[in-house]
Amino acid sequence: MCGVVGLIGTPDAAREAFLGLTTLQHRGQDAAGILSYDTDGFHRVKNLGLVDSVFTRENISTLTGNLAIGHARYATIGRGDLGDVQPFLISYPFGIGMAHNGNIVNVGELADDLKVRARRHLLTHSDTEVVLNFFAEGLSKAPPSQPGESELQFEAICSSVGEIYKRVNGSYSIVTLIADQGLVAFRDPNGIRPLVWGSRKTETGRAHMIASESVALNFLGYEIERDIAPGEVVFIDQQGKVFSRVLPISEDAGQRPHRPCMFEWIYFASPESIIDKVPVYGARIGLGKYLGRSIRKLIAERGIEADIIVPVPETSRIAAIALAEELGIPYREVLIKNRYIKRTFILDSQEKRQKAVNLKLSPVRSEIQGKRVLLVDDSIVRGTTSKKIIELVRQAGASKVYFVSTCPPIKNPCYYGIDFPNGSELIAAGRDLAQIEKELGADAVIYQDIEGLQAAIREASSEATGGIQNATPCMACLDGKYPSDISAGARFAASRAQDRKQPNPNASPGSIPAMQSPGATGPKEN
Amino acid letter for position 198: G
CB 199 within 8 A of CB 206: yes
DSSP per-residue codes, 425-439: G-TTTT--HHHHHHH
Is residue 2 flagged as an active site residue? yes
For residue 505, the SS3 value is coil
For residue 44, the SS3 value is strand
**Cα–Cα distance between 15 and 3 in angstroms, integer?**
16
CB 28 within 8 A of CB 1: yes
**Cα–Cα distance between 80 and 348 in angstroms, integer?**
9
Tell the burial category of 238 from Cβ atoms under 10 Å away from its Cβ (0-12, 13-18, 19+): middle
Q: What residues have CB less than 8 Å from 343, skipping those under 6 apart?
A: 26, 29
Cis geometry, peptide bond prior to residue 523 (ω within 30 degrees of 0): no
**Cα–Cα distance between 46 and 418 in angstroms, integer?**
23
Query: How are strands ordered across the β-sheet holding 400-405?
Result: 308-311, 372-377, 400-405, 444-447
**Nearest by Cα to 363 from 337, 329, 401, 383:** 337
DSSP per-residue codes, 259-273: --BTHIIIIIS-TT-
**Cα–Cα distance between 270 and 335 in angstroms, integer?**
21
**Nearest by Cα to 507 from 73, 124, 49, 58:** 49
**Cα–Cα distance between 332 and 313 in angstroms, integer?**
11
With the C-alpha atoms ordered 267, 271, 276, 282, is the resulting torsion angle positive or negative? positive
Beta pairing partners, 33: 46, 71
**Cα–Cα distance between 231 and 259 in angstroms, integer?**
12
Amino acid letter for position 524: K
Full 3-state SS string of 314-364: CCCHHHHHHHHHHHCCCECCCEEECCCCCCCCCCCCHHHHHHHHHHHEEEC
Which residues are designated catalytic? 2
